[in-house]
C-alpha cells in the first residue's frame, strides 16, 4: 500500500497562473517532506522541503504547505513558467539523516505559454 | 562537481543475461542509494549504503538482485539472471551524512534505462 500518494497524474496550467500540486501521506510518523522535480532523461532534482514542525516553507516562486492533521501537503508555484513543465515527486521520510525517501508516483505539470 | 554519474545510460539485454549497472557518487558523499522507477510502482528504494556498508536492503526484490560498494567512489547493482519485469529506470543517488546532519538532500544521477527482452 502506497504511503505517499499523488492522486493527480497530470496538471495543465497557463503561464503566469498558480500551479498547485497535492500530496497525501498515510504514515503519521513521517516528519520531513520534500519535493523533487524531474525532466525527461534526467534524474530527480531537489526543489524544496519542509519539516513537520512547520506548516509553510517558501523559496522564491515555490511554497510548500503542510497540514499535519489532514496528512496533506501541497506545492504552490507562482507564477508558473513554461520551464516548470516537468514531473514533480512528493517524498516523505523520517527526521533522521540517512533514511530513505518514500516517493509518490509523481504529477506531470504542463505550463503553456 | 560532475554530480552523480551512472553508466550505462541505456541497456538492452535478453532475458537470462547478467546486467551490471554502475554508479559514481558525488565526491565527499558517504551515503548512496539505489532506486528503481516503474510506471506501476513509481520510485522505490532498492538498497542504501552508508560509508560503503549496506544499511537497508529490504527493497531488493529478490535474490537475483545484488549490490556492492567496494569503495567510497563506486557502486554496482547487478541483476542475474535478468527478466522482462526488471525493465525500468534505475537511479543512483548520494548524500552526505554528517555528525550533526538531521536530514540530508539526496542528489540523483541521470538514471539507467534497462530494457530486458
Task: Summarize pLDDT for A56-87 with one digit per residue, the tens.
Answer: 999 999 999 999 999 999 999 999 999 999 99
List residues bridging with A102 in a β-sheet.
A92
**What count of Cα atoms within 13 Å lies in the side-chain half-sphere of residue B99?**
0
Contact call for A98 and B110, based on CB within 8 A? no
> Which of A95, A102, A106 has the CB atom closest to B102's CB atom?
A95
Res B61: pLDDT: 86
Report how far apart, in Å, the C-alpha atoms of A36 and of each of B26, B75, B78, B92 are.
18, 23, 27, 15
Give the SS3 label for residue B85: helix
Whether the CB-CB separation of B93 and A43 falls below 8 Å is answered with yes
In this predicted model, what pLDDT tens digit does every residue of B1-27 receive, in sequence order? 689 999 999 999 999 999 999 999 999
- Rounded Cα gap, residues B99 and B10, in angstroms: 37
Residue B68 has pLDDT above 60, yes or no: yes
CB contact, 8 Å: A102 with chain B? yes
Contact call for B31 and A105, based on CB within 8 A? no
CA proximity to A40, closest of B81, B37, B85, B3 = B37
Residue B103 has pLDDT above 80, yes or no: no
Contact call for B108 and A44, based on CB within 8 A? yes
Interface A–B counts its CB contacts (< 8 A) at: 66
Amino acid at each position: 500500500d502506497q504511503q505517499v500518494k499523488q492522486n493527480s497524474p497530470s496538471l495543465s496550467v497557463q503561464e503566469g497562473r498558480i500551479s498547485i500540486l497535492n500530496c497525501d501521506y498515510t504514515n503519521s510518523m513521517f516528519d520531513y517532506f520534500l519535493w523533487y522535480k524531474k525532466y525527461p532523461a534526467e534524474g530527480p532534482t531537489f526543489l524544496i522541503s519542509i519539516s513537520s514542525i512547520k506548516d509553510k516553507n517558501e523559496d522564491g516562486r515555490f511554497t510548500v504547505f503542510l497540514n499535519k492533521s489532514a496528512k496533506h501537503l501541497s506545492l504552490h508555484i507562482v507564477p508558473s513558467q513554461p520551464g516548470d513543465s516537468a514531473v514533480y515527486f512528493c517524498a516523505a521520510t523520517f527526521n533522521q539523516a540517512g533514511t530513505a525517501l518514500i516517493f509518490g508516483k509523481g504529477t506531470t505539470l504542463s505550463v503553456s505559454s | 562537481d560532475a554530480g552523480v554519474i551512472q553508466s550505462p545510460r541505456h541497456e538492452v539485454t535478453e532475458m537470462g543475461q547478467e546486467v551490471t549497472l554502475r554508479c559514481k557518487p558525488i565526491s565527499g558523499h558517504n551515503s548512496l542509494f539505489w532506486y528503481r522507477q516503474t510506471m506501476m510502482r513509481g520510485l522505490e528504494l532498492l538498497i542504501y549504503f552508508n560509508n560503503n556498508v549496506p544499511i537497508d536492503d529490504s527493497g531488493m526484490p529478490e535474490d537475483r538482485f545484488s549490490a556492492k560498494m567496494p569503495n567510497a567512489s563506486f557502486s554496482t547493482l547487478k541483476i542475474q539472471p535478468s527478466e522482462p519485469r526488471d525493465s525500468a529506470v534505475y537511479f543512483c543517488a548520494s548524500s552526505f551524512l554528517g555528525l550533526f546532519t538531521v536530514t540530508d538532500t539526496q542528489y540523483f544521477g541521470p538514471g539507467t534505462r534497462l530494457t530486458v527482452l
